[in-house]
């Protein structure tokens, strides 16, 4: 008798056959699937940012900017409400007290209120980004050095459209630009010690609306046609204790301090002997002391700012080289002295306002 039972196919074999049958279409589908679209470079491609073809336009006026920074044409979009300008120069192309980077960074912040804090360029930076608002206008600055030691500066300016729907769309594009500019390649940092870091709050206040440039040694600035270097706090402590309270500072103590300085700097020609500054009555602060002298072809001013208790006295200097071929040295130094001492007095007041 013949059996009528049908042969069975193992479940594992059946699954394998089904998988094999379905594989070719799946592979073919993945082969024809379009690749993910690369993200648009809204920093490097102005058209990608604006979503329209830009055109050459007149640079937007900047209140308080003074003379325009040369060497760049403006491109616009969005009915001239969005503008970009780019500049390029070689590192160290125009040696001076301040680098071209520091001067451009200051110039690009024109239009801020005189009392508004400004970002000060640091010569240790290789790239930096700054977003600011001036009136109703949004601005974005990027300054970076490329592999060939050329500097590329870019300024975007956006004046929002008054129509709500258009404004919202433009704001979305502007946010894309800000997000792209926040990448690490557009920013760098400079590390300072604890004493130098405390001066970071002082230097912008000292400069006000003037340009300056930070570095590992302190701040470079220009005043009355002179190039000045304001140092970070000097290391170490004074040998003689200086009183924090102005009421405890005696004439004998100041005379002893000047005698010690004369021994420490035997070649110095003194412009101002060690003295206590007259601080404004409306600004409660500790005693501040100052002296200035000529040594090694420089006018040197030094500030002493005692701290409460046994804390270290903060000491810093403002220096500038004596101009060559200016006749009698002390006569030339006498003209420079008030400039140097004025900056030291300003540091003393800003320190008192910030920390005392």
Could you list the pLDDT tens digit for every one of the 356 residues in the chain? 444 444 455 544 444 444 444 444 443 444 455 555 567 899 999 999 999 999 999 887 655 555 678 888 899 999 999 999 999 998 776 668 999 999 999 999 888 887 788 899 999 999 999 999 988 899 999 999 988 889 999 999 999 999 999 999 999 999 999 999 999 999 998 888 888 999 999 999 999 989 999 999 999 999 999 999 999 999 988 878 888 998 888 888 889 999 999 999 999 999 999 999 999 888 889 999 999 999 999 999 999 999 988 788 999 999 999 988 666 889 999 999 999 999 999 999 999 999 98
Residue 122 placed within a domain: yes
Q: What is the pTM of this model?
A: 0.83
Domain that holds residue 87: 46-60+70-111+118-186
pLDDT reported for residue 252: 85
Q: Across the strands, what pairs with 218? A: 215, 231
List, for residues 33-48, the tens digit of each pLDDT value.
555 556 789 999 999 9
For residue 314, give every residue at least 6 positions away whose Cβ sits within 8 Å of its Cβ, in sequence order, or none.
195, 233, 303, 304, 305, 307, 351
pLDDT reported for residue 220: 98
> Which of the listed residues 159, 186, 213 is the one where a domain comes to its end?
186
pLDDT reported for residue 33: 52
Task: Return the SS3 of 86.
Answer: strand
Residue 24 placed within a domain: no
Residues 206 and 351 in one domain: yes
Residues 171 and 83 in one domain: yes
Residues 122 and 250 in one domain: no
pLDDT reported for residue 62: 59
Do residues 83 and 59 lie in contact, with contact meaning Cβ atoms separated by under 8 Å? yes
Residues 99 and 212 in one domain: no
Distance between CA 341 and CA 317 in Å, rounded? 10
Residue for token digits 């394998």?
16
Contacts 24+ apart (CB under 8 A), 124-128: 124/188, 124/190, 124/214, 124/215, 124/216, 125/101, 125/188, 125/189, 125/190, 126/188, 127/185, 127/186, 127/187, 127/188, 128/186, 128/187, 128/188
Residue 264 placed within a domain: yes
pLDDT reported for residue 249: 80
Tokens of 10: 């193992």
DSSP letter assigned to residue 349 = H
Residue 40 placed within a domain: no
CA 154 to chain centroid, in Å, comes to 15
pLDDT reported for residue 25: 44
Residue 165's alpha-carbon distances to 47, 162, 168, 171, in angstroms, are 21, 9, 5, 10
Domain count, the chain: 2
Alpha-helical (H) ranges within 92-137 are 100-107
pLDDT reported for residue 66: 55
Report which secondary-structure segment, H or E, holds 167.
helix 164-181
Residues 202 and 300 in one domain: yes
Locate the DSSP E strands across the chain. 55-57, 74-77, 82-90, 121-122, 127-134, 137-145, 150-158, 212-215, 218-223, 226-231, 269-276, 289-295, 298-305, 314-321
pLDDT reported for residue 29: 43
Residue 10 placed within a domain: no
Residues 198 and 340 in one domain: yes
Distance between CA 17 and CA 10 in Å, rounded? 11
Residue 32 placed within a domain: no
> Which of the listed residues 170, 186, 202 is the one where a domain comes to its end?
186
Distance between CA 249 and CA 282 in Å, rounded? 20
pLDDT reported for residue 8: 52
Residue 33 placed within a domain: no
- The torsion defined by the Cα of 99, 105, 109 and 114, in degrees rounded to 10, comes to -40
Residues 227 and 281 in one domain: yes
Residues 173 and 209 in one domain: no
Residues 132 and 228 in one domain: no
List, for residues 120-139, the tens digit of each pLDDT value.
999 999 999 999 998 889 99
pLDDT reported for residue 184: 93
Residue 135 placed within a domain: yes
> Which of the listed residues 163, 186, 209 is the one where a domain comes to its end?
186
Residue for token digits 């010569």?
123
- Main-chain dihedrals φ then ψ at residue 194, nearest 5 degrees: -60, -45
Distance between CA 287 and CA 283 in Å, rounded? 12
């Amino acid at each position: 008798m013949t059996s009528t039972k049908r042969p069975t196919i193992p479940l594992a074999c059946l699954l394998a056959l089904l998988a094999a049958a379905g594989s070719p279409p799946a592979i073919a589908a993945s082969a024809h699937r379009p690749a993910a679209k690369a993200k648009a470079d809204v920093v490097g491609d102005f058209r990608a940012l604006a979503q329209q073809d830009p055109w050459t336009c007149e640079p937007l006026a900047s209140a308080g900017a003074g003379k325009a920074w040369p060497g760049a044409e403006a491109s616009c979009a969005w009915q001239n409400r969005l503008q970009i300008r780019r500049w390029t120069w070689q590192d160290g192309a125009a040696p001076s007290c301040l680098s071209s980077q520091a001067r451009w960074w200051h110039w690009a912040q024109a239009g801020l209120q005189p009392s508004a804090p400004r970002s000060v360029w640091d010569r240790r930076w290789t790239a930096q980004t700054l977003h600011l608002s001036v009136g109703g206008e949004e601005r974005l600055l990027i300054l970076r050095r490329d592999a060939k030691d050329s500097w590329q500066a870019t300024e975007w300016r956006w004046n929002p459209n008054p129509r709500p729907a258009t404004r919202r769309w433009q704001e979305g594009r502007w946010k894309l630009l800000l997000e792209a500019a926040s990448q690490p390649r557009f920013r760098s940092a400079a590390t300072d010690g604890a004493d130098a870091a405390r001066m970071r709050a002082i230097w912008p206040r000292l400069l006000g609306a003037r340009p300056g440039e930070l570095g590992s040694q302190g701040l470079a600035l220009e005043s009355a046609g002179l190039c000045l270097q304001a140092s970070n706090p000097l290391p170490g402590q004074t040998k003689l204790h200086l009183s924090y309270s102005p009421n405890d500072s005696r004439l004998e103590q100041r005379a002893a301090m000047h005698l010690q300085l004369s021994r420490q700097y035997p070649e110095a020609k003194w412009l101002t002997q060690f003295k206590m500054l007259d601080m404004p009555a409306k600004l409660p602060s500790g005693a501040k002391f100052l002296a200035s002298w000529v040594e090694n072809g420089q006018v040197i001013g030094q500030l002493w700012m005692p701290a409460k208790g046994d804390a270290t006295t903060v000491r810093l200097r403002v220096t500038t080289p004596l101009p060559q071929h200016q006749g009698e040295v002390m006569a030339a130094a006498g003209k420079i002295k008030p400039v140097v001492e004025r900056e030291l007095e300003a540091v003393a007041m800003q320190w008192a306002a910030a920390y005392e």
